[in-house]
Copies of this chain bind each other. A is one copy, B any other.
Amino acid sequence: MKFTIGTDIGGTNTTTGIVDPSGKIIRSHSFRTDDYDDSQQYAAQLAESVTSLIQQTEAELGGADVEWLGMGIGAPNGNSLRNSIDHAPNLRFKGEILLADMLNQHLKLPTIRLANDANAAAIGEKIYGGAADYDHFIMITLGTGLGSGIYVDGKLVDGQHGMAGEVGHMSVIPNGRYCNYHRRGSLENYCSAMGIRRTFFEMLAETGQASKLNHLPIDDIDSKLIAKCASEGDAICKDTMEFTGRLLGEALASVALVTNPAAIFLFGGPVQAGDILLSPTRRSFEKHIIPTYQNKIKILTSELPLGEAALLGAAALVLTNK
């Protein structure tokens, strides 16, 4: 039986799972990423986590007919050309971390690959999700930030520096909201979970009306609550989701004009809001796309299970031939 290993590196936790040939995660292990500020010590801990999972799996299966195809890692600011993590703002180890090389000193695996987490999710969608039949598609991951992965001609686009698919940083409103990096007006500051929260405050300011959420501490307001409250008819929350969908649809139309995909897959917490987000997104997309593309590009929701996508995507890195 052929297994892959997937690791999802987040700012808080690092989770590794063993994935069977059907795409099922049969065993996993987590430890805290932010316990480490030294990348060598972190790599040693990650290698230990992997080794232990391998040993448990082999023990359970009696060692019979077990083959390890390799390990894939999804990480913020992952660079798939060098299998490194480059200057990730939300990790404690800085600079360019050649993580795959470090792990190879501890592990004996046929391959260790690393990619940006959203790029890994795109590969996951292609191999385990809804994109199996698409050669040209775009994966959009909506979480705290907004990530993306671009498929062209059946292959993930790495780009010249291994950093393609960063559409969350596209400028959508000149001189708009403040972002990190002293930039302004980029997509993820409007359409990620964090952006939806900011829009809620903007709607409070703009309309001067009250929301059903007004009794809550500001710290408790999040995109999930806003979506729920919008579905229950709260005007401020409805306006928030409508604005988010409108801007997301307009931005996705801009992205689609670059590579002309067959479909755009949306993934992540905010997508769970359903039609209250998806309807204005699709409407705005069709409004902003040019006639030759109209009604040709589908906006779909990811078919990856929400809690497992990052791991599955990372593991799927091993299964691409590049």
Q: Chain A interface (Cβ within 8 Å of chain B)?
A: 77, 86-87, 135-136, 148, 150, 152-153, 155, 157-167, 169-174, 181, 183, 247, 250-251, 253-255, 257-262, 287-288, 290-293, 296-297
Contact = CB atoms under 8 A, between A and B. Distances in A.
Please tell me how many copies of the chain the complex holds.
2
B161 A260 contact: yes
B157 A290 contact: no
Contacts of A253: 170-171
Given A166-B257, A166-B258, A171-B288, 6 more contacts: A148-B258, A160-B262, A164-B260, A166-B290, A166-B293, A172-B174
A152 B157 contact: yes
A46 to B, nearest CB: 23
Given A164-B260, A183-B290, A258-B165, A173 B174 contact: yes
A163 B247 contact: no
A246 to B, nearest CB: 9
Nearest to A257: B166
B163 A254 contact: no
A183 B287 contact: yes
A261 B258 CA distance: 12
Contacts of A135: 160
A260 B159 contact: yes
A120 to B, nearest CB: 16
Contact of A155 (B153, B167, B170, B262): B153
